[in-house]
Amino acid sequence: QLGALVQAAAASDNAAVLPLIASLDVKASGNYIRSLSRTTIAEYQERHEWTDEQIADYLVGSFGMDGFGRLQLNYGERAFHLRLHVDGEWGIADEAGKELRALPPARKTEDADWVKTVEAQFASIKYVVKTELKRQQQRLYVAMCLQRQWDGQTWLAVVAQQPVMRLLAQRL
C-alpha cells in the first residue's frame, strides 16, 4: 500500500512531495520501499531534466515546520509554539506567549505517556534539523563558490519558503 502511495504522490508531479518520498529511503524498513523511493526520485529528476544540484534543492525536509521555522507541539490540554532561530537554537513559548527554557513536564491531568512521546518527537526533530542544517550549509557553500544561480520562482520555492534553507540564507 505504501508503494502505491509513493507512486501516486510522484505522479502528481508536485515537487513538494519529494522530501517525503526521499525520507522513505532512510525510514522505511523494507528494501522495496527504499528502492522505490530512489527510483521515483530519479525518474522525477529525469522527467524534469534536472541536475543533481537542482533535485537536491527540492529534497530538503521541513520536519513539520512552516516556511518561517515555526512548529507547534500539543500535550493535549496545552500547545507549545516552537521557533527555529537563525543561530539554529529553538525558542519555546506557551500559548500565552511566555518564553520557556524547555518543554515543561506533564501536568497530573495530562497523559504522561503522550507527553513523553511529544518530548521524544521534539528531541528527534532537534537532532535531524541540526544535522540537516550542517549538510545544507555545506551544499549552499559549494553552490556559492560555483556561483550557482536560481531563477526567482525557484529561489522562493527552495530557499525563501523552505525553513532550513531560509534560516541559512538569513545567516548570509
- Residue 26 confidence (pLDDT): 67
Coil, helix or strand for 30? Answer: coil
Ranges in the chain, pLDDT < 50: none
- Residue 10 confidence (pLDDT): 73
- Please, what's the b/e burial string for 44-77 (b: 16 or more CB within 10 A of its CB; e: otherwise)? bbeeeeeeeeebbbbbbbbbebeeebebebebee
CA distance 24 to 11: 17
CA distance 56 to 140: 11
| pTM of the model as a whole | 0.81
Q: What's the pLDDT tens digit per position in 47-59? A: 889 999 999 999 9
